[in-house]
Amino acid sequence: MSEFIPSFDEKKIEKKWQDIWYSNRYFNANDYSEKEKYYSLVEFPYPSGAGMHIGHIRAYLSLDVISRKRRMEGKNVLFPIGFDAFGLPTENYAIQNQIHPRIITDRNIKTFINQLKSAGFSFDFTRMVDTTDPKYYKWTQWIFLKLYEHGLVYKSKTYVNFCPSCKVVLSNEESQGGKCDRCDNDVVQMEKDVWFLKITDYAEKLLKGLDELESNSRIRMEQEKWIGRSSGAYINFKIANEEETLRVFTTRPDTIYGATFMVIAPEHHAIEHLKDKIENLDEIKAYQEQALMKTEFERIELAKDKTGVEIKGIKAINPITNKEIPVFISDYVMITYGTGAIMAVPAHDTRDYEFAQKYGLEIVEVIKGGDISKEAYTDTEQGILVNSPLIDGLSVEKAKEKIISILNEKNIGEEAIQYRMKDWAFNRQRYWGEPIPIVYCDDCGIVPVPYEDLPVTLPMVEKFIPTDTGESPLANIDSFTKCSCPKCGKEARRETDTMPQWAGSSWYFLRYMDPHNDKELASKEKMNYWGQVDWYNGGMEHVTRHLIYSRFWNQFLYDIGVVVHKEPYKKRTAQGLILGSDNEKMSKSRGNIVNPMEIINEYGADTLRTFVLFISDYEMSTPWNDSGVKGARRFLDKIWRMFPNVTDEVGYSKDLERVIHETIMGVGDDLENLKFNTAIAKLMSLVNEYNKQEKVTRSDYEVLLTMLNPIAPHITEELWSMLGHETLLVFETYPEYDESKLVKDEIDLIISVNGKLRDKMVVENNLDEEKLKKIALGREKIQAFIEGKEFVKIIVVPNKLVNIVVK
RNA sequence: GCCGGUAUGGUGAAAUUGGUAGACACGUUGGACUCAAAAUCCAAUGCCCUUAAAAGCGUGUCGGUUCGAGUCCGACUACCGGUACCA
C-alpha cells in the first residue's frame, strides 16, 4: 500500500468503467427475461448544439439512481434514452449556416451521447430512438392516419401568429407580448387552414385516468386545470320576432333571473344570420374588424377595460322571465369556449358587472348575501336565491338542480359539461418536422396517404427557406409536392405542413419497448412484457401538454387495440429547477449557465452526480453553488483514503453494526422518496463514523460502496475491484437491514420544565414512566428550576422526554 | 385576479405522528503538519451579554390552540411557479 495516493484519478477510473459497462452492454434491457421487469423513463432531450445542460443531469439522475438500485434488487430494468430532434432551433441554425438539419442533428446527437456516457448514465444505448429518423416517424405518421381514419383529425380555419419578417408561424410562447421571439418585430394575425386533433373527445377519459396516475397533488392539479371540466347548462335564448336562437353555456343556471343582457363573441355566426335586422351593422362590422386585429396578447392586456357594442334592432328573450333584453358583441366573450355567447348576470359575475357598469345596464340581485351596489357577489357556498319566483329561498346548489329540470321540461335547455381544453392544432409551417401524410387531389379532395406508402420522407434539398406566404418551405419543393392521387392516380399535391414537436414525443415510450420493429410501432408481445412505464420523471413544464398529449395518443391506441394499457404511466415525478448562482433562471443572456462538462472535466462525473443530488430537495428549485462541488469531491476522497484501513474481516464491526443498519434503512427509504440530499447526508455521517475507527472491516466498507454505487458508480466500482472482486459491483445485491439490529440500549432523555429544555441525560432504553419521572425530578439542574414553584403536572413521552409543568 | 408552492444561521439546506431547531455540507476563524503553500487532520462557528459558565432571544409578520409549535389553526407580507375575460 505504500504507493497509495490520497486522491483518486477520476479521469482514468471513469473512462475505464464506462468502457467496460458500455462495451459489454451491461445496462441493456432483456426482452422476456425471467426477472421481474422495471421500466423507468426520463424525458428524452432535444439535441441542441449547446449539448447537455446541468438540468439534464438533474432530470436524469433520479431515475439513473433508481434504475441502478433496481438492477441490484434483481429487476430486469428498461432505462432507455433517445432524441426529440425535430424543431425550430436546428432549422434556424441550418438556414443561418447553410448546413442541412440532418447533418446538424446527427452531429448534435453524437455529442450528446458522448456527454451522457461521460456522466455515467446507465441507459440502454442500443434502444435509442430519434424522432427525425424516417424509420421512427413512419409510425408517427401511421398514428396520424389512424387518428384520421377514426375521425379524430379535421381541418379548420383559425388565426395564427405570423411574423412577416421571419416568415414563420409562431406559437403563443414564441410571440409573447405580440413580438416575435427571434427578431422582435410585431406579430400579425393570419388566417390559416389548420389541422386539428380532436383531443376534446378524450377529455373525460384523460381526466378519469388521473385516478390511476401516482403523482403529487401539484402535478395532478395542473392537469386537471388544463382539462378544465366545468358543469352547468346550455340555455336557449330566442331572438324576439326571429327564428334565430342564441345558445349559451353557463355554470350558474340558478342566476337566470338576473340575466339582464347577453353578450356574444365578435366572431359569432348570429351576426351574419341577422345582418338584415341589425340597425348599426357598420358599427358592429367595425368592432369585429378591430377585435380581429388584436392579437391574443392585446385581448388579454386590455382585459381590464371592457369594450363592446350593442346590437341595435334585435332583442333576446330571457326564457324564464320572458323579458326582452339587449344583446351586445364584445371581445371579452371568446368564440372558442362554450357556445361563444353568454347570458350576462351582472349582479353575480365580476366581468358582467364591469360591463354593466360601463354601459349602464340593469343589475338585478338574485343571490342574497352581498352588496351589489359595490361589486358582484360570486359566493356560491352560502348564497340563497331571491327575486327568482320559481326558486326563491333555495340554496345555490338546490336552485341549480331545480332550474335545470325546469329547462328540460320546457325544452329550453339542458345540463351540460364543458372543457377548457381545446382541440390540438396539429401543424407547423416548417421544414424540420414530420410531413403530414395527406394528399390533395382536385377530384378526390383530401386523401390520406396509404399505409403501405409510409413514410412520407422529407426531401434532402439544399434550400429550405420559408415562403413569403407563411407556407412551409416544403411548398417550394416541387419534387416533394408533386405526386399522384392514391385514389384516382391523377396528378395531386402533397400537404406541405409538418407536425408539431409534440408529435414524436407523444408515443416514444412505446417505441423503446421494441425500437427496431419495421412491421409495427411495437409488437404486442413486447408491450405485454414491458407493460406500463413504472416511473416517469421529467420537468414540471411538461406536466400539462406533453403528459396529456401522450396520454391521449396512448388511450387512442388502446381503444383501437394497438397498445395493451389504457394509461401509459404508473407514476410521474418532476425535478426542481437548478438556477444560476444569482438565483435567476439559467440563460445565455444572463451569463449564468453552468456547463456540466466543465465540472466533469475538473472534478469527475461521480463528484458532479453526488453534488447535484446533494444540493437540495430534488423536487425544489435551488441556486447553483460552485464551492459546494468541492465538498462532494472531498466526501469521495475520504472514502478513497479509507481504503488502506480496511481489514479482511468479514461481518460488521460491533461498534458500527447499529449505525450501518440504520443507514441502510434510511438511505433506502430516502432514495425511493426522491430524498437524495438526505440519503447522501446519511452516507456522509456513516463515513464520519467509520473515520472515528482505526480500522473498518471489509463488510463495513463493502456495504458502504454498495449503497453509494447508484450515486457514484465509478469510484465505488474501482474500490470494489481493488478489494479483489472479479465480478462487478453493478451486479451485486442491494443491502438489506435487520430490524432487530436497530434497537438501542440507551437513549438520550430530554428533561424540560414548562416545555423548555433544561437538562438531558443518557438512560437505559424502555424505562417505565415512574422511573423516568423519578430520574427527572432527581436532577440537580431541574430542582433549581422547580424550587419554590407550584407543581402542576408531569408529562412523560417514553424513550424521549419528561416535561415538568410548574406555576 | 385565481390556483399551487416556498419563507429556517454568513450560504445550500435538515428536522418521523407536535417532543433536543440548525443534521449533512459550504464558508469563516483558530490550531497541527510544512521552509512555505496546497492538500489533509483537529477545534470553534444561530444571535446577544460574557474571561467562562449560566441565563435570555431565535424558524417571514401578528394572533391562537397546547404541558410543549418550524410543524396545527386564523389573519397578513414577500418571493417563485402555473394560469388567464373559460361564462
In this complex, the answer to whether residue A544 has its CB under 7 A from any atom of chain B, a nucleic strand, is yes
Which residues lie closer than 8 Å to A38 by C-beta, 6 or more apart?
A: A67, A70, A75, A76, A77, A78, A534
Q: Which nt has its C1' nearest the CA of A420?
A: B86
Where do the DSSP E strands lie in A99-222?
124-130, 153-163, 168-170, 188-197
Tally of domains within chain A: 6
A498 and A433 Cβ atoms separated by less than 8 Å: yes
CA distances from A250 to A135, A254, A650 (A): 48, 9, 74
Asked if A234 and A347 sit in the same domain, the reply is: yes
The pLDDT of residue A4: 57
- In this structure, is residue A669 part of a structural domain? yes
pLDDT at A707 over 60: yes
The 3 state secondary structure assigned to A368-401 is: ECCCCCCCCCCCCCCCEECCCCCCCCCEHHHHHH
Residue A5 is assigned to a structural domain of this protein = no
Same domain, A320 and A449: no
What is the distance in angstroms measured between the alpha-carbon CA of A786 and the sugar C1' of B65?
A: 25
Helical pair A88-97 and A101-118, crossing angle rounded to 10 deg? 120
Q: A491 and A526, same structural domain?
A: no
Question: Beta carbon of A255 within 7 Å of strand B?
Answer: no
Q: Is residue A204 part of a domain?
A: no
Q: At CA A508, angle to CA A503 and CA A175, rounded to 5?
A: 35
pLDDT at A171: 65
Q: Which residues does residue A794 pair with via DSSP β-bridges, in sequence order?
A: A804
Residue A688 in domain: yes
What is the predicted pLDDT for the residue at A2? 37
Q: Which nucleotide is nearest to A629 (CA to C1')?
A: B26
DSSP SS3 for A82: strand
Chain B positions within 7 A of any protein Cβ atom are: 3-6, 11-15, 19-21, 23-27, 39-42, 55-56, 67-69, 80-87
A756 and A732 in one domain?
Answer: no
Model confidence at A296, in pLDDT bands (50, 70, 90)?
A: low
- Among all protein residues, pick the one whose CA is nearest to the C1' atom of B55: A758
Counted residue by residue, chain A has a size of: 807
Is the pLDDT score of A790 beyond 90?
no
Domain that holds residue A388: 229-419
- Chain segment A439-455, per-residue pLDDT in tens: 999 999 999 999 999 89
Q: What ipTM was reported for this prediction? A: 0.95
Grid coordinates given for A577 = 429547477
- Which candidate, A681, A694, A693, A729, places its Cα nearest to that of A709? A729
Find the nucleotide nearest A303 (Cα to C1′): B85
CA distance A431 to A465: 8
Same domain, A385 and A403: yes
Alpha-carbon distances, residue A617 vs A60, A459, A490, A575, A790 (angstroms): 15, 47, 63, 9, 47
CATH number at residue A795: 3.10.20.590
- A134 and A157: one domain? no
Q: CA triplet A290, A292, A295: central angle to 5 degrees?
A: 105
Indicate the residue among A722, A741, A760 that finishes a domain: A741
Closest nucleotide to A747: CA versus each C1': B20
| A263 and A171 within one domain | no
Q: Which residue is nearest to nucleotide B25 (CA to C1')?
A: A631
One domain for residues A236 and A373 = yes
A563 and A613 in a single domain? The answer is no
Helical pair A654-672 and A676-692, crossing angle rounded to 10 deg: 170
Q: How far apart are CA A497 and CA A429, in angstroms?
A: 5
Q: What is the mean pLDDT of residues A589-605?
A: 91
What's the whole-number mean pLDDT along residues A325-351? 92
Q: Does residue A380 reach within 7 angstroms of strand B, measured from its CB?
A: no
Quick check: A579 and A586 in contact, CB under 8 A?
A: yes
Say what the pLDDT of residue A161 is: 73
What average pLDDT score do residues A18-42 get? 97
A658 and A632, same structural domain? yes
Which of A177-191, A245-259, A338-352, A396-410 bottoms out in mean pLDDT, i.e. has the lowest? A177-191
Dist. CA A136–CA A128, nearest whole Å: 11
Share of chain A above pLDDT 90, in %: 68
Order the strands of the A572-575 sheet from edge to edge: A76-78, A37-42, A535-539, A572-575
Beta-carbon contacts of A767 under 8 Å, excluding residues fewer than 6 positions away, are A775, A798, A799
How confident is the model at residue A1, as a pLDDT? 35
Within a domain: residue A685?
A: yes
3-state secondary structure of A774: helix
Rounded-to-integer distance, Cα A150 and Cα A558, Å: 13
Using the CB atom, is residue A634 less than 7 Å from strand B?
yes
What confidence score (pLDDT) does residue A175 get?
63
Any strand B atom closer than 7 Å to A253 CB: no
Q: Please give the Cα distance from A194 to A674 (Å, whole number).
A: 42
CATH number for the domain including A608? 1.10.730.10
Give A674 CA → B81 C1' in Å: 20
Residue of A306, A321, A308, A315 whose CA lies nearest to A258: A321
Is residue A301's pLDDT more than 70?
no
Within a domain: A209: no
Residue A213 lies inside a defined structural domain of this protein: no
Query: How far is it, in rounded angstroms, from Cα A581 to Cα A571?
Result: 32
> How far is A502 from A171, CA to CA, in rounded Å?
12
Residue A684 CB in 7 A reach of strand B: yes
- C-alpha span between A277 and A255 (Å, rounded): 29
Do A265 and A382 sit in the same domain of this protein?
A: yes
Q: A739-778: per-residue pLDDT in tens? A: 888 888 888 888 888 888 888 888 888 778 888 888 888 8
Mean pLDDT of chain A: 90
Regarding whether A262 and A356 lie in a shared domain, the answer is: yes
Interval A54-61 mean pLDDT: 96
Is residue A616 over pLDDT 90? yes
A403 pLDDT above the threshold of 60: yes
* Separation of A621 CA and B80 C1' (Å): 9
With distances taken from each CA to the C1' atom of nucleotide B20, the closest residue turns out to be A750
In a domain, A320, yes or no: yes
Cβ-based neighbours of A774, under 8 Å, separated by 6 or more: none
A750 contact to strand B (CB, 7 A limit): yes
Q: Which of A246, A150, A136, A137 is nearest to A201 (CA)?
A: A150
